[in-house]
Structure 1
Amino acid sequence: MAAPIISVFDTDAEVAERLCSFVIEKANAAIAIHGIFTVGLSGGSLVKYLCDGLPGKATDWSKWRIFFCDERYVPYDSTDCTYTPYKKGLVDKVGMSSDNIFPIDPNLSVSECARDYAEKIRHVFPGLGLPRFDMLLLGMGPDGHTCSLFPGHPLLQEREQIIAPITDSPKPPPCRVTMTLPVVNNCRCAVFASCGVAKADMVQVVLATVISYFIKLETKYSVPVVSDIPTGLPMPNLKNFSQIPEVISDAIALAIVIFAISISMGKLLAQKHDYEVNADQELVAYGISTIISSFLSSAAPCASLSRSLVQERVGGKTQVAGLISCALLLVVILAIGPYFRTLPNCVLASVIIVALRGMFLQALELPKLWKVSIIDFAVWIVAFLTTVLLDVDLGLGCAVIFNLSTILFRSQRSYATLLGQIPGTDIYRDIHVYEKAKEVPGLKIFRFEHSLFFVNIEHFRSLLYKKIVNPRTLKITQKKQASKFAKANKEAELSKPQTQIVQSENLPDMPVPMDSLDMELQTSSNQISVNMVSKSVRECPLDLDFHTIIFDASPWNFIDVMGVKALIAVIGEFKAVGVKVMLASCRAGIRKMFKKTDFYKTLDNTNIFVSVHDAVLRAQFGDEPPPIQNGLTIEHEDANDEDNDTDSQIEVHYADDDVGSRKLVVISHL
């Protein structure tokens, strides 16, 4: 047997050109030797290569005899038929007689079709028990099949027939007619043309196995090979339950690592191919498969990073790909494993390295990740280094612990801000981000953008004091100033009994009469417009420009017991210095926690509002409603009526102008 010639090209066009030139070269040589060129063609990408490249080449087409290495058992007008595209794209183009191309007869049964095609071949090769073609142009599938000879199929053992039917092809359509291995091995020249990434790994494995076998890499050059692969499946074993106490701790750790690796691999591929992975479903599947496989002496099932990426790389997209892979693996275990004993280990390693190339190339994203988030960059580096230096399980564990640490760190360093109102709206936004957002006079609206729990309560308290005021420090200051006021009042009583200094914080809390409001009147024939500046009923405590704090709880997903205690302490501290506290946008879960922890004893539910705007309105106008109600109708006497006194109606309602001031509109219906 002549040594194989391996040619590698960068593009499909180069493959097609070299293939067609080689075919013409062999055809002309065969015609010169015995006056005829017998060739077997295959489908797939070869059809395009040959139909585009052969017409126009210099050869005697009348001396060609074209057969098919395999053919799908379908009508000629089917898109799966191999004969029709060659007839139209090659035979008709070069003016070859239709008698020089030999298709199968799909009108016969598949068995009769195979026998009929064998007779056609023997007619061209009279007197030969086994036909000897000048050239067979073959392809190779991703699973390593050629012609319609699939790995593990019984037809691989066929030695009597030259053409055999197949009715259970792993690839559709199931019925085919194919040359057998003896015919393929007896040809003068077999050409395997294979293109595309999907077939590269299988071609590499096949070629490496063949080359290693013929030049004896293991015995002559001491190259490590796969060696013997045991065949068969172990018998079920139910005798190892006594070992459970010894392995239970390791089994739990192994289960955690296996599931973490598998779900991570699944999510990586899901993100690449735009689908979702149900972690609960995966957990149940791994649990069932592990329990069943444990009785068969198999290893615990887990996603293989290398095999998963290899399968994805060769085009596997659904669970059917996994099923086929399992079937092929079963075939290898039961039958064809020994054929790969001469495969060098370095070839398997190279296949894995190439498959993992995409993962290694993710390192190129590190500069971009550094610019986007230093924390995510650090997580990537820690996960990579610990996995490479320690092992997959230890590296994954270290990466998970480090990632949880970053989450705790971020929770302790959550963002907080003060909100302001967008003029003319009920929208409140960060005053440091939105220039138009202005603080409401007399109010402080505080937002802590994380759930409130034991990890970040101190951070919450420190940010609150930093953004607003520290009530503990303020209380000390107020006590000092109160002492000064008391002393000043006492001195004033002695010198001027009629003079008294009164602290604003001790003023009675009562509704402000209408005549104390600032108004601007605009009149017309039948309408009086009164512009009112929004004034708080409550006065601000000493040394403060606000009297109420509103907590925007919309970012809080949950609050634990420690968070409730911290909130109660904060509210109590601010109450002690005369500042009222309100809450807005509390979720249902948070309100349930308030009820369970007796939070309402500190802050009753009348101070918890659906939205920030509702809380602002209540804080501005106090517990009592505004002095004039919306839709109020009053009667007055028209003083300009000279004839007699008549009653007229005046309609009064509120409206907000474009600068956020509340406008009182009075319409007189005369």
Structure 2
Amino acid sequence: MPLQELIALGLSNLTGSFFQCFPITASMSRSLVQESTGGKTQIAGSVSSFIILICILKAGELFTSLPKAILSTIVIANLKGMYKQFMDLPILWRTNKYDLLIWLVTFLSTICLNLDMGLAVSIAFGLLTVTFRTQSPQCSILGQVPETDVYRDVAENNQAKEIPGVKIFRYTSAIYFANAELFAKALQDKVGVNVDRLKEKKKKVISKRNRGLQKMINMSQKIVAETQKEPGFEYVTNSDGVIINPKTLTDNILPSSPTLRSLGLKGPEFHALVLDFAAVSFVDTVGVKILKNICEDFSDLEIDVYLVNCLSSVLRQLENSHFFSGTITKSSIFASIHDAVSYLSVGHDSSVAQEITVCDTKST
């Protein structure tokens, strides 16, 4: 059992507290001395404790005349293994700067404060670095390596090519309350679409057309009222002689779900967005809400959203949070990126399908 010494230490202090015993704790210097002399088991600790007991009872008076400098030299010599850890600083600087910061904060807090407070500060700082790392994960746009089912970051791999009409976005962190908004912002930045601005433009154009159409309806009704006195006649004719009912004029001119092209707006250059969740370990309630808003916003812009490589725990969380609805169904979930790309190659333009190379898995 790896923590049996700590459990024994805690039980000893717990039991001794009922009998007014002195609390016991571990000694860093003695532990380093035991390690440097090759001690591996509790027997070595028993031998060192027996020697210390003899020194306290009998041999302690022999050391009273020694200067404190000599005694401190003995302690420093035994702690040389700990001092060698300063040589790890250049290595940590080259390998992982987060670990270097944790090392420095632990060292300075332990020196400036006491041992307990220093360890508490180091633990809190370590948790803070973990939170900070999840707020700045690596995200990338993937492309297909020709004639394979391999997808790599297009910014790092020259052979990977983006598939026309399809954006593949990879996110390498959990999606939870601390980074959910950052996930949505990183997605828009990578795919090059400002969803909020484009939706606002769409709303303004629809509102403008509705106002103009209402004016046209009011004018038509006024013409009908002035020219047709008999009841039951509520129709007017346009310049081509076509009979139009002013009441249904809105449905004829402006459909209930107008597209960006029908509104004269330039939409995104892709029709499908694939989210690679292979590195997403979990999604909390806030993350599910953000993800659902993202799917609905892109759907409003005529872009289909697909999820691939989802862990079973992530799928269970999505189901429990009622993520799947009328606009978002389980048919948008695929086991791999290539499955989603192959599906998209069938349902869209053949010119796009020619750009998607499907790996032949049959043996020749």
How far, CA to CA, are the matches of 1:420 and 1:592 in structure 2?
A: 29
Partner AA of 1:610 in structure 2: A
2:284 pairs with 1:588: no
2:117 pairs with 1:421: no
**1:430 paired residue number:** 153
Question: What is the Cα deviation at residue 346 of structure 1?
Answer: 3.7
Q: Is the CA contact 1:417–1:448 (under 8 Å) kept in the aligned structure 2?
A: yes
Q: Is the CA contact 2:137–2:171 (under 8 Å) kept in the aligned structure 1?
A: yes
Unaligned runs of 5+ in 2: 217-237, 243-252
Match of 2:298 among 574, 581, 584: 574
Q: Is the CA contact 2:260–2:266 (under 8 Å) kept in the aligned structure 1?
A: no
Match of 1:608 among 308, 333, 348: 333
How far, CA to CA, are the matches of 2:318 and 2:181 in structure 1?
A: 20
Match of 1:444 among 154, 159, 167: 167
Q: Is the CA contact 1:478–1:542 (under 8 Å) kept in the aligned structure 2?
A: no
Residues 616-655 of structure 1: matches in 2 within 5 Å? Answer: 616-622=341-347
CA offsets, 1:81-103, max 9 Å, x none?
xxxxxxxxxxxxxxxxxxxxxxx
Question: SS at 1:312's partner residue?
Answer: helix
Question: What is the Cα deviation at residue 478 of structure 1?
Answer: 4.0
Q: 1:363 to 1:423 in 2, by over 3 A?
A: same
Q: 1:299 to 1:412 in 2, by over 3 A?
A: farther
Partner AA of 1:443 in structure 2: V
Structure number with greater CO (CA < 8 Å, separation at least 6) is 2
Q: Is the CA contact 1:425–1:660 (under 8 Å) kept in the aligned structure 2?
A: no
How far, CA to CA, are the matches of 2:292 and 2:157 in structure 1?
A: 31
Structure with the higher fraction of residues in helix conformation: 2
Question: What is the Cα deviation at residue 304 of structure 1?
Answer: 1.7
How far, CA to CA, are the matches of 1:470 and 1:553 in structure 2?
A: 22
Question: SS at 1:435's partner residue?
Answer: coil
Residues 79-228 of structure 1: matches in 2 within 5 Å? Answer: none
Question: What is the Cα deviation at residue 359 of structure 1?
Answer: 2.2
How far, CA to CA, are the matches of 2:15 and 2:66 in structure 1?
A: 32
Q: 1:662 to 1:385 in 2, by over 3 A?
A: closer
How far, CA to CA, are the matches of 1:293 and 1:454 in structure 2?
A: 44
Question: SS at 2:170's partner residue?
Answer: strand
Larger Rg: 1
Residues 457-606 of structure 1: matches in 2 within 5 Å? Answer: 457-468=180-191, 469-479=193-203, 505=259, 542-601=266-325, 603-606=328-331
Question: SS at 2:290's partner residue?
Answer: helix
Q: 1:334 to 1:622 in 2, by over 3 A?
A: farther
Identity over aligned pairs, percent: 36
Question: What is the Cα deviation at residue 483 of structure 1?
Answer: 8.2
Question: What is the Cα deviation at residue 494 of structure 1?
Answer: 6.1
2:133 pairs with 1:410: yes
Q: 1:359 to 1:506 in 2, by over 3 A?
A: closer
**1:311 paired residue number:** 34
Structure with the higher fraction of residues in strand conformation: 1
**1:456 paired residue number:** 179
Q: Is the CA contact 1:547–1:579 (under 8 Å) kept in the aligned structure 2?
A: yes
Q: Is the CA contact 2:273–2:305 (under 8 Å) kept in the aligned structure 1?
A: yes
CA offsets, 1:92-140, max 9 Å, x none?
xxxxxxxxxxxxxxxxxxxxxxxxxxxxxxxxxxxxxxxxxxxxxxxxx
Residues 205-284 of structure 1: matches in 2 within 5 Å? Answer: 278-279=2-3, 281-284=4-7
Question: What is the Cα deviation at residue 618 of structure 1?
Answer: 2.1
Question: SS at 2:162's partner residue?
Answer: coil
Q: Is the CA contact 1:419–1:445 (under 8 Å) kept in the aligned structure 2?
A: yes
How far, CA to CA, are the matches of 1:366 and 1:582 in structure 2?
A: 45
How far, CA to CA, are the matches of 2:206 and 2:356 in structure 1?
A: 36
Q: 1:615 to 1:381 in 2, by over 3 A?
A: same
Unaligned runs of 5+ in 1: 1-276, 508-540, 628-655, 665-670
**1:384 paired residue number:** 107
How far, CA to CA, are the matches of 1:663 and 1:359 in structure 2?
A: 55
Q: 1:612 to 1:392 in 2, by over 3 A?
A: same
**2:23 paired residue number:** 300
CA offsets, 1:442-466, max 9 Å, x none?
1111111111111111211111111
Size of the aligned set, in residue pairs, is 317
Partner AA of 1:593 in structure 2: Q
How far, CA to CA, are the matches of 2:101 and 2:239 in structure 1?
A: 72
Question: SS at 1:600's partner residue?
Answer: coil
2:357 pairs with 1:661: yes
Q: 1:472 to 1:367 in 2, by over 3 A?
A: same
Q: 1:427 to 1:289 in 2, by over 3 A?
A: farther
